[in-house]
A and B are shown apart, each in its own frame.
Chain A
Amino acid sequence: MLSTLLSQIVNGLVLGALIGLIALGYTMVYGIIQLINFAHGEIFMIGAYGGLAMFTYLLPTFVQQQWYLALPLLLVAGAAVSVAVAVAMERFAYRPLRGAPRLAPLITALGVSVALQEAVRVFYPGATSALPFPRIFLEGSYIVPIGDGVPIRYTGVLIIVVSLALAVGLQLFVDRSRLGRAMRATAQDRDVARLMGIDPDRVIVLTFVLGGLLAGVAGILYGADLGFINIDIGFQTGIFAFTAAVLGGIGSIRGAIVGGLVIGLVKALGGQYLPGGTAYDYVWIFVVLIVVLVFRPQGFFGETERVRA
Chain B
Amino acid sequence: MTRRRTLVTAAILVGALGLTACGTNRQEEPQAGGGAACDTSKGTLIIGMIAPLSGGLSALGLGMRNSAQLAVDQANQDCTVAGYELAFQPEDDQATPQVAGQAATLLASNPNVVGVIGTLNSSTGQTVQPILNERGIAMISPANTAPALTMGENFATAPERPFDNYFRTSTTDLVQGPFAANYLVQTAGKQRIAVIDDGKTYGANLAEQFAQQATELGAQVVARERVGEKDTDFSGVITAIRGQNPDAVYYGGEYPVAGPLSNQLAGAGLDIPLMGGDGIVNADFVSLGGRPGDLATSIGAPAETLPSAEQFVSDYEAAGFAEGFGAYGALTYDATNALIQALATALADGEYAEDRRADIVAAVQATDMEGASGPVSFDEFGDTTNRVLTVYTVEGADFAPVEGSTGAFEG
Binding site for B on A (CB under 8 A): 1, 3-4, 7-8, 11, 14-15, 92-93, 95-96, 108, 111-112, 114-115, 118-119, 121-122, 128-130, 132, 139-141, 143, 148-149, 151, 153, 225-228, 230, 232-233, 236, 267-268, 271-272, 277-279, 281-282
Contact = CB atoms under 8 A, between A and B. Distances in A.
B242 A4 contact: yes
Nearest to A98: B2
Interface stretch (B56-64, B98-106, B303-311, B366-374): B56-64
B17 A115 contact: yes
A292 B258 CA distance: 35
B23 A230 contact: no
B239 A7 contact: yes
A93 B230 contact: no
A129 B236 contact: no
A49 B16 CA distance: 18
A144 B23 CA distance: 47
Interface string B59-78: 10000000000000000000
Contact of A148 (B59, B233, B243, B259): B243
Contacts of A15: 233, 235
B289 interface: yes
Contacts of B13: 93, 108, 111-112, 115
A118 B226 CA distance: 29
10 contacts: A112-B13, A115-B13, A118-B24, A119-B19, A128-B58, A132-B289, A141-B269, A153-B235, A225-B233, A278-B225
Interface in B266-296: 266-269, 284, 287-289
A119 B256 contact: no
B40 interface: no
B332 to A, nearest CB: 19
B348 interface: no
Contacts of B6: 96
B240 A271 contact: yes
B36 interface: no
Contacts of A129: 55-59, 256, 284
B267 A272 contact: no
Q: Which 10 A-B pairs have the closest CB atoms?
A: A279-B226, A118-B20, A115-B16, A11-B235, A7-B239, A271-B236, A4-B243, A122-B23, A151-B268, A278-B237
Contacts of A4: 239-240, 242-243
B20 A115 contact: yes
A35 to B, nearest CB: 15
B269 A228 contact: no
Contacts of A149: 269
Nearest to A156: B235
B22 interface: yes
A141 B226 contact: no
B260 A277 contact: no
B58 A151 contact: no
A119 B56 contact: no
**Chain B interface SS verdict (over half):** helix
B227 A132 contact: no
Contacts of B269: 141, 143, 149, 151
A112 B245 CA distance: 46
**Chain A interface SS verdict (over half):** helix
A93 B9 CA distance: 6
Interface in B228-261: 228, 230, 232-233, 235-237, 239-240, 242-243, 245, 256, 259-260
A236 B259 contact: no
A41 to B, nearest CB: 13
A1 B267 CA distance: 21
Interface string B191-219: 00000000100000000000000000000
Given A92-B12, A122-B23, A128-B54, A228 B233 contact: no
Contacts of B22: 122
A132 B283 CA distance: 12
A260 to B, nearest CB: 14
B264 interface: yes
Contacts of B240: 4, 8, 271-272, 277-278
Given A115-B13, A149-B269, A277-B225, A233 B232 contact: yes
A130 B259 CA distance: 10
Contacts of B260: 130, 226-228
A47 B47 CA distance: 42
A111 B260 CA distance: 30
A238 to B, nearest CB: 13
A278 B243 contact: no
Contact of A118 (B19, B227, B289): B19
A268 B20 contact: no
Given A115-B16, A118-B23, A122-B22, A148 B239 contact: no
A1 B226 CA distance: 21
B126 interface: no
Given A129-B256, A132-B288, A121 B267 contact: no
B19 A122 contact: yes
Contacts of A108: 13
B19 A228 contact: no
Contact of B9 (A96, A114, A267): A96
B204 to A, nearest CB: 10
A150 to B, nearest CB: 9
B264 A226 contact: yes
Contacts of A153: 235, 267-268
A121 B94 CA distance: 13
Contacts of B17: 111, 114-115, 118
B353 to A, nearest CB: 39
A148 B240 CA distance: 12
Nearest to B54: A128
B261 to A, nearest CB: 11
A140 B267 contact: yes
A228 B289 contact: yes
Contact of B239 (A11, A115, A122, A225): A11
